[in-house]
Structure 1
Amino acid sequence: MYESLQQNYQLCEELGRGRFGVVYCCFSTASQSHASFACKSIYKHSLSDATDRRCLDAEPKILRLLSACPNILRLHDVYEDDDHIHLVTDLCDGGDLFDRLSSGNRFSEPDAAAILKQLTAAIAFCHRIGVAHRDIKPDNILFDSRGRLKLADFGSAEFFGVESEMSGVVGTPYYVAPEVLMGRDYGEKVDVWIAGVILYIMLAGVPPFYGDGAAETFEAVVRGNLRFPSKIFRSVSPEAKDLLRKMICRDASRRLSAEQVLIADFSASVDHKRRIDVRFEVIQPELYIETVVGGVVDESLTPFCLDENDIAPLCFGGVVAFDHLSICDKL
């Protein structure tokens, strides 16, 4: 099977290395475009238990179900032999959210809103399909070369239903929801809690719950005493803090759904009407157009009258994002 991989893709430089395998940059040799991809090669014998193997088997199946969402890492091909499984996915060479948070600079509300909008769109798409990610963290929130967010690493994802909740302690310190740590059955809103924690970190530069070590951090998460220190949150709007309270809500029944977060534009009151001048490119097969669009955009409305079957515009937090549009410059 490795020979089949080599027939269709040329592996290039190593991009990263993890506990179970290596990620390479690769390009397609089967098409004239020589498009670039990432290839995650996992050494199957390094999987220490049945749970790891189950996660590896489940991830490709789940990624194929979610392939229609532009904010979820797309799986293009899977190759398997006796020793390895190779997953060919989108190439995300724009880094990850962990890199951006590690710079130490807090995000402005419009920048945080733009990332939250894309992340929540990915989560809401998963939930419509009946999939919960369960282990979202900055490390697996990736960006492609155009800055578009791609949610990745679905190894811990699980299916859920109206009468079928999930169980098991899955997640990462700082981000895991309290109902997971308390050993209860839980629903898909664990992903909304995580997204709220990530939003808090983007705006504050620190997590809402922490301690000396994992055990103390978990205790703080279970208490769920959400605070907004005035020194840190002095410049954060009341709307942003209100959204955080509704996402990082200890009572999961009162916590917002991903769909509700999508329509909660917390930064709209900061500057409801904003003048934009954006140069963008529209890329279609055998077509390249570059133009300039300028005007006053009411952020509560769709900014341009376009066929939603071709282009789906979203305006959130002063940032205009388009499927199939690449924003090159914002003046």
Structure 2
Amino acid sequence: MQENVSDPLVGTLVDNRYAIKSKLARGGMSTVYLAEDQRLERDVALKVLHPHFSADESFVGRLGREAKAAAKLSHPHVVGVLDQGNDGHTTYLVMEYIKGHTLRDVITDKGALPPRLALALIDPVVEGLAAAHAAGFIHRDVKPENVLIADDGRIKVGDFGLARAVTTSTSSGALIGTVAYLSPELVLGRPADARSDVYSVGIMLYEMLTGKQPFGGDVPIQVAYQHVNSTVGPPSALVPGLAAEVDELVQWCTANDPENRPVDGSALLQELRHIRTNLTDSELDLQPPAALGAPHRGLPGTAGLPGTADQSAGPSHTEFIPHISNQTSVMPAGRPAPPPYQPAGNATAARNPTPAPRTGHTLTPPGEDDSPAWAPAPPALSKRAQRKADKDEEKARARAAATPARSLREGNPRRRGILWIIVLVIAALLATGAGWFFGMGPGAAAAIPAVANRTVAEAQQLLSDAGFRSTTSDVFDDAVPSGRVVGSDPQAGAEIRKFQPVSLLVSKGPQLYPLPQLTAGSLDEAKSALNAAGMALGKVTEQFDEEASAGTVLSQDPAAGTPARRGTAVAMVVSKGPEPIAVPSVVGKTENQAVDAIEAAGLKAEVAKDEVFDRKVPEGAVVSQSPANGTLTRGGTVTLTISKGPRMVEVPSFIGKQAGEAEQALRKLGFDVRLNKVLGGFFGTVRDQDPVDTEVPEGSVITLTVV
């Protein structure tokens, strides 16, 4: 949505190329405008940095390097970086213009989303981040405002590279980012990696499912404190009935320790799609309760923390925040903490303790066991753990029911002694066999050897020598040649029992996709087709073409339909339109000469029907042409006007008249006059005239003899 706010840059031309139409948005680092690229005649998003960033030469240089790197990232779910430059005090980035709205608009409009919609919206975001992580990029500022949803349904992640450039340009006492989605390690000033983006995705998914951000506060530092010192609660606390798998996904992404999160976007994408596939329709279509539209007062477990006041999921701007200093605190002396609760009775009693005052403890009646009167309440079980505990309890009850309470016949002691000896011998044999099985036999644990980049036969032999059985499965791989082993499942170095199978992943080579047809369309259409196919734009060459209009793609290399791997660069030849031809000048030449010269230049000559008199151009020669100069395209028409020569004029006699009068009259008739004065022409009278009383060409010389 465009902002109708007056701005001095609106209506100006940046770098003699980008005409700014309107202001789209303003953030903590830059202002975004809708502009027209006048060279390519297309709309683009022009991000202009705030003046204090543009004045920093080191930052501008770093931004240029980040922009060049981000421009190489071509993916259907990542906003493309098209250009970067400086125009005086204006530093700008040119990005692909996505006409539509942002994920923030969706959350603001709809509030909490059903799981099906939330997971469908987050899927392309994670896919785009996975591609970026694989290429070595980290976003650092993932938030709903940077997720763009086009009117045709395409979803893209924007602003790659900008947060990194600003972060590395600021002092060590501050960092850049949107505090509501900032990972704990970024708050603490520690190095960030792909797992920091994963954390931000988890916060964003929490907000999509609940309509609320997990942490809030009056000032950014309060929110940052909670990211470091609190844990994100399960979304089901606000949306009852939400699937346990969705809770676990959100809490896996938002773990405080990066080691407990998915390693990158690719790992998260696999789990996300696994969950979407395995949830039932009722779980996916769960409608959030209407009560979610009302403000809430914080999540369970956040009472007393800074910033747990009521909040709404309003727009989040990128902000500077200071690092948090975690100082050592002295805890007040008190009585020792009670020992862990040991439940008396069966598992059901442990999971369902007697209701007690809401003090966080349960009261065990004296005399039932040796535990203290007050003990901590057992932690709440997740839905998945609760179902497993129920099954274990049912099995335990079945075993207890199948075991007789007492024997029907006691037997004699001697027989029981023999039986005990037999039992002990059998137990010893079993123990010895088990020791061999798990110590040196097939049950022994061993590390899987490294088999990557080996032939299948070599890898199978290595696994056989290590005592493992192996199977093979084919996978696509861009780096490992076809027929060689990519790796193993489990991975090399993992310790498993030798009787467990190991799967060898054998490369089928890179996965190839047919290149799209790019010719006959415009360059912008070709770029969109490449982007949709996951291919990259190669070298673009321009040449003149007599038939194709300017901007039309004439050819591509490799050709359409050629199998190619993702990211293959496709070179294109683009038309500059018909070649301009200089119009030759043929004025004064004969008609035939003029026509030959014009046709030799690749143009068409056309002779005007009406000829004209001309005193200087002889009959049959070209008097004028249209156009007289400039350029035309091949086959353009030049119109020629032919001369009829000078006009024939009757010469009257001026003999006996004064020379001045005669000269003036003759010149009006278009003649040149020459005076031949005899004896100085004292009387000024015309004595003789040549020619006289006859028709001569206009412009002829009339000689007057004056006495």
Normalising by structure 1, what TM-score? 0.70
Match of 1:35? 42
Task: Return the structure number with greater relative CO, CA threshold 8 A, min gap 6.
Answer: 1
- Mapped contact 2:44–2:97 kept (Cα < 8 A): yes
Q: CA RMSD in A?
A: 3.4
Cα deviation 1:105-149 (Å, max 9, x = unaligned) = 211212211221111112111211212111111222222232322
Match of 1:263? 270
Distance 1:178 1:90, change over 3 A: same
Report how far residue 25 of structure 1 moved.
Answer: 2.1
Distance 1:25 1:85, change over 3 A: same
Match of 1:185? 191
Does 1:60 pair with 2:67? yes
Match among 230, 245, 256 for residue 239 of structure 1: 245
Does 1:207 pair with 2:216? no
Does 1:24 pair with 2:33? yes
Rounded to whole Å, the distance in 2 between the matches of 1:174 and 1:135 is 10
Match of 2:589? none
Match of 1:175? 181
Rounded to whole Å, the distance in 2 between the matches of 1:22 and 1:212 is 25
Report how far residue 96 of structure 1 moved.
Answer: 1.4
Match among 118, 124, 127 for residue 121 of structure 1: 127
Helix, strand or coil: the match of 1:189? helix
Report how far residue 183 of structure 1 moved.
Answer: 3.5
Report how far residue 248 of structure 1 moved.
Answer: 1.0
Greater CA drift, 49-58 or 186-195:
49-58
- How many residue pairs were aligned? 271
Rounded to whole Å, the distance in 2 between the matches of 1:41 and 1:183 is 27
Show the 5 A alignment for 1:144-159. Answer: 144-153=150-159, 154-157=161-164
- Mapped contact 1:189–1:252 kept (Cα < 8 A): yes
Rounded to whole Å, the distance in 2 between the matches of 1:25 and 1:84 is 16
> Runs of at least 4 residues of structure 1 off by over 6 A?
none
Q: Which amino acid aligns with 1:128?
A: A
Show the 5 A alignment for 1:289-308. Answer: 308=513
Match of 2:20? 11
Rounded to whole Å, the distance in 2 between the matches of 1:223 and 1:260 is 26
Distance 1:220 1:14, change over 3 A: closer
Rounded to whole Å, the distance in 2 between the matches of 1:103 and 1:78 is 34
Match of 1:226? 232
- Mapped contact 2:111–2:211 kept (Cα < 8 A): yes
Match among 224, 247, 259 for residue 253 of structure 1: 259
Helix, strand or coil: the match of 1:233? coil
Match among 60, 80, 91 for residue 85 of structure 1: 91
Asked which structure has the greater CA Rg, the reply is 2
Rounded to whole Å, the distance in 2 between the matches of 1:93 and 1:198 is 22
Show the 5 A alignment for 1:127-142. Answer: 127-142=133-148
Report how far residue 217 of structure 1 moved.
Answer: 1.5
Q: Percent identity?
A: 25
Distance 1:28 1:211, change over 3 A: closer
Does 1:102 pair with 2:108? yes
Distance 1:247 1:10, change over 3 A: same
Cα deviation 1:23-75 (Å, max 9, x = unaligned) = 332334434xx432222234655646578546643442232132x11211112
Normalising by structure 2, what TM-score? 0.35
Report how far residue 260 of structure 1 moved.
Answer: 1.2
Rounded to whole Å, the distance in 2 between the matches of 1:224 and 1:58 is 37
Runs of at least 5 residues in structure 1 that lack an aligned partner in the other structure: 159-166, 275-306, 312-321, 325-331
Q: Which amino acid aligns with 1:71?
A: H
Match of 1:289? none
Report how far residue 168 of structure 1 moved.
Answer: 7.0
Q: Which amino acid aligns with 1:223?
A: N
Runs of at least 5 residues in structure 2 that lack an aligned partner in the other structure: 1-11, 166-172, 285-511, 517-530, 534-707
Report how far residue 5 of structure 1 moved.
Answer: 4.3
Helix, strand or coil: the match of 2:177? coil
Report how far residue 192 of structure 1 moved.
Answer: 0.3
Report how far residue 201 of structure 1 moved.
Answer: 0.4
Report how far residue 3 of structure 1 moved.
Answer: 7.1
Rounded to whole Å, the distance in 1 between the matches of 2:192 and 2:92 is 32
Q: Which amino acid aligns with 1:112?
A: A
Distance 1:26 1:242, change over 3 A: same
Helix, strand or coil: the match of 2:182? coil
Helix, strand or coil: the match of 1:107? coil
- Mapped contact 1:4–1:79 kept (Cα < 8 A): no
Rounded to whole Å, the distance in 2 between the matches of 1:109 and 1:310 is 35
Q: Which amino acid aligns with 2:268?
A: V
Report how far residue 230 of structure 1 moved.
Answer: 4.7
Distance 1:156 1:105, change over 3 A: same
Rounded to whole Å, the distance in 1 between the matches of 2:190 and 2:65 is 23
Match of 2:539? none
